[in-house]
């Protein structure tokens, strides 16, 4: 079993020194309760829960998995998961960010980001069970009727129930315009939901007394395509308008998907057989509510990636320091030992620094995105809310795709650093590689995130979110222009930001003439964007560290890692830029028949 230690020092640095969330909280409704003492206590307790309760269950949960009783349709989670969930609820974690009116503590959303990172680092599979409750809560809060919020949202906030998103079907995957699940109206205002959904995270389990499924379906008179999709609340046990739970509903788990990783998180085939449900939101407007859930889930999955990056780094660093293997090429560094530890070797350091640069850089990016959620939901200034929403919408596909792809890369490095010990089950390293690979797929593949970024968030909006972000980078570079301590970073960052804008403008012009340019460039454009964004946060990190009361070693580590990032990772943008500028011909010119 590998050990996990929550990186509280860096988490606090990002929140309090880099992002200065205390100042933001002080002016937002509900933020006044988020004092530094309160937050420190919350993070300490979350660290204990993650390290002492969840982390020890990670390997055993992966080994045991979830089991389905086909006769009853009931799913049993691995040993210890149910008890851990009870501790989670008793600790008040399920209600942290929810509105007080529905039983929540109404603390800012960005407080939840480090807590979620800790849960996911410790035990990603377990973290998936409460994951989608947040998205379901947001959909109910923003799109539901008041009686629905009281009947369904309150028990979710209390942790007595969990929520799911039931979108995908066997024949349509991510193309929701093809979905076939039907919703027939009843005289009493309820609906009969019939159809099959697949890949439903936590669709059935034994942790709570009820499960609230939010299901996309079509009404009888619905228009074709995505314009004819509605969203319905379909509980495992029927719930009346007064919130009373009744008989078992006609919804059941038909099978558990046999995944390559995240094995202790149940992923279900869900069958709805005229199950009783309620319409949420307006008819044929289900996508509006779905994107509320989807954006919340995509940010959350990005933080899952961060959790795995951190875990891969911790495992790798511990092993590299203790494993004796060969001698340094420039001469023994530990002559009193039979061999030098792995950490002295340049290639091992390349992998370790890649992990460290991604862990700390993406932590800043994702916590920043979470702080924008606070502004969108709580700022009394309409203009500030609008800008934050546009900026957040732009960043979400970058956070989801970049952080999960970086998790995949960092888990790969962890296996490489461990050599032969990396791919055998006994050491536990290969579990993280399997888990990380899946995060790049669910809640939208990297390709889907890239199309969302370039097609919806850049071209469809004339790049409003990107403009906000580039303006922020430009203002930062201007403000720090005379700061000698940042001179080595400011010039390259300003150049990269200018190039980002120019590349986007040129790509937009090509896309107007040929729509295939969007699909051909999207993934490379996303990675390019992500690497420049991380360069900004690494420069800000050095600036914040220098201005802080952090130790000299902490400041030195930030600077060394930033130098590595600018020297070794930021140059990846050159390849992605060249690929974007290469156009679509090399991808699309070859006839299908020539693929063989």
Q: What residues act catalytically?
A: 443
Which H, E and C letters describe 519-577, residue by residue? Answer: HHHHHHHHHHHHHHHHHHHHHHHHHHHHHCCCCHHHHHHHHHHHHHHHHHHCCHHHHHH
Q: Is 225 left (phi over 0), alpha (psi -120 to 50) or beta?
A: left
Rg (CA), the chain: 24
Tokens standing for 518? 């969007």
| Distance (Å, whole) CA 276 – CA 234 | 6
| Distance (Å, whole) CA 354 – CA 349 | 8
The three-point CA angle 532-536-542 to 5° equals 140
Which residues fall within 8 angstroms of residue 511, CB to CB, at 6 or more apart? 459, 517, 518, 521
| Distance (Å, whole) CA 302 – CA 294 | 12
Kindly provide the b/e burial profile for residues 86-111, where b requires at least 16 CB atoms within 10 angstroms of the residue's own CB: eebbebebbbbbbbeebbbbbbbbbb
Q: Which of 428, 436, 379 is nearest to 412 (CA)?
A: 436
Alpha helix stretches (DSSP H) within 71-220: 81-90, 109-122, 124-143, 146-148, 154-158
Tally of CB atoms within 10 A around 459: 17
| Distance (Å, whole) CA 92 – CA 591 | 58
Q: Which of 65, 66, 74, 132 is nearest to 251 (CA)?
A: 74
Give the CA count within 13 Å in the CB-facing half-sphere of 423.
5
Which residues fall within 8 angstroms of residue 154, CB to CB, at 6 or more apart? 102, 103, 243
Q: What is the DSSP letter of 468?
A: H
| Distance (Å, whole) CA 206 – CA 239 | 18
| Distance (Å, whole) CA 439 – CA 441 | 5
Q: Which of 522, 443, 460, 395 is nearest to 168 (CA)?
A: 443
Which residues fall within 8 angstroms of residue 70, CB to CB, at 6 or more apart? none
| Distance (Å, whole) CA 530 – CA 366 | 11
Q: Which of 188, 232, 170, 211 is nearest to 75 (CA)?
A: 211
């Amino acid at each position: 079993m590998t050990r996990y230690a929550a990186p509280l020092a860096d988490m606090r640095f990002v929140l309090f020194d880099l992002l200065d969330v205390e100042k933001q909280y002080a002016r937002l409704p509900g933020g006044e309760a988020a004092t530094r003492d309160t937050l420190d206590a919350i993070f300490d307790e979350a660290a204990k829960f993650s390290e002492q309760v969840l982390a020890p269950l990670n390997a055993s949960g992966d080994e045991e998995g979830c089991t389905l009783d086909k006769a009853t349709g009931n799913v049993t989670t691995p040993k210890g998961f149910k008890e851990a969930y009870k501790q989670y609820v008793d600790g008040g974690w399920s209600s942290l960010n929810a509105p007080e009116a529905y039983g929540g503590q109404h603390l800012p959303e960005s407080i939840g980001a480090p807590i979620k990172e800790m849960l996911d680092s410790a035990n990603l599979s377990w973290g998936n069970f409460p994951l989608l409750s947040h998205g379901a809560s947001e959909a109910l809060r923003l799109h539901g009727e008041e009686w629905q919020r009281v009947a369904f949202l309150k028990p979710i906030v209390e942790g007595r129930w969990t929520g799911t998103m039931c979108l995908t079907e066997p024949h349509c995957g991510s193309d929701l315009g093809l979905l076939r699940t039907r919703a027939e109206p009843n005289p009493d205002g309820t609906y009969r939901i019939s159809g099959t959904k697949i890949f439903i995270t936590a669709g059935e389990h034994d942790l709570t007394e009820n499960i609230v499924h939010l299901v996309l379906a079509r009404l009888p008179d619905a228009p074709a395509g995505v314009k004819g999709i509605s969203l319905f609340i379909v509980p495992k046990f029927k719930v009346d308008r007064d919130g009373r739970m009744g008989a078992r509903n006609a919804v059941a788990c038909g099978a558990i998907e046999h995944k390559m990783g995240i094995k202790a998180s149940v992923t279900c085939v869900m069958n709805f057989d005229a199950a009783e449900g309620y319409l949420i939101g307006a008819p044929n407007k289900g996508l509006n509510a779905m994107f509320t859930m989807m954006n919340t889930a995509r940010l959350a999955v990005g933080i899952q990636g961060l959790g795995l990056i951190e875990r891969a780094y911790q495992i790798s660093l511990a092993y590299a320091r203790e494993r004796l293997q060969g001698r340094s090429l420039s001469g023994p560094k530990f002559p009193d030992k039979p061999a030098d530890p792995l950490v002295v070797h340049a290639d091992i350091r390349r992998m370790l620094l890649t992990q460290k640069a991604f862990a700390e850089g993406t932590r800043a990016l994702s916590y920043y995105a979470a702080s924008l959620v606070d502004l969108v939901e709580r700022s009394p200034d309409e203009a500030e809310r609008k800008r934050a929403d546009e900026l957040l919408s732009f960043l979400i596909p970058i956070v989801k795709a970049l952080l999960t792809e970086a998790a995949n890369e960092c888990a790969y490095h962890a296996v490489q650093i461990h050599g032969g010990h990396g791919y055998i089950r006994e050491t536990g390293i290969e579990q993280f590689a399997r888990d990380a690979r899946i995060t790049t797929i669910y809640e939208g593949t990297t390709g889907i995130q890239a199309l969302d970024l370039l097609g919806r968030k850049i071209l469809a909006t004339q790049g409003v979110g990107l403009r906000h972000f580039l303006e922020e980078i430009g203002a930062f570079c201007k403000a720090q222009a005379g700061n000698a301590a940042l001179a080595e970073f400011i010039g390259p960052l300003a150049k990269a930001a200018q190039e980002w804008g120019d590349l986007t403008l040129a790509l937009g012009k090509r896309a107007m003439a040929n729509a295939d340019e969007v699909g051909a460039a999207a993934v490379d454009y996303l990675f390019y964007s992500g690497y420049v964004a991380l360069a900004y946060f690494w420069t800000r990190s050095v600036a914040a560290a220098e201005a802080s009361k952090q130790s000299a070693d902490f400041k030195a580590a930030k600077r060394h890692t930033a130098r590595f990032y600018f020297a070794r990772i930021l140059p990846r943008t050159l390849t992605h830029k060249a690929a974007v500028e290469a156009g679509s011909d090399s991808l699309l010119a070859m006839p299908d028949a020539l693929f063989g």
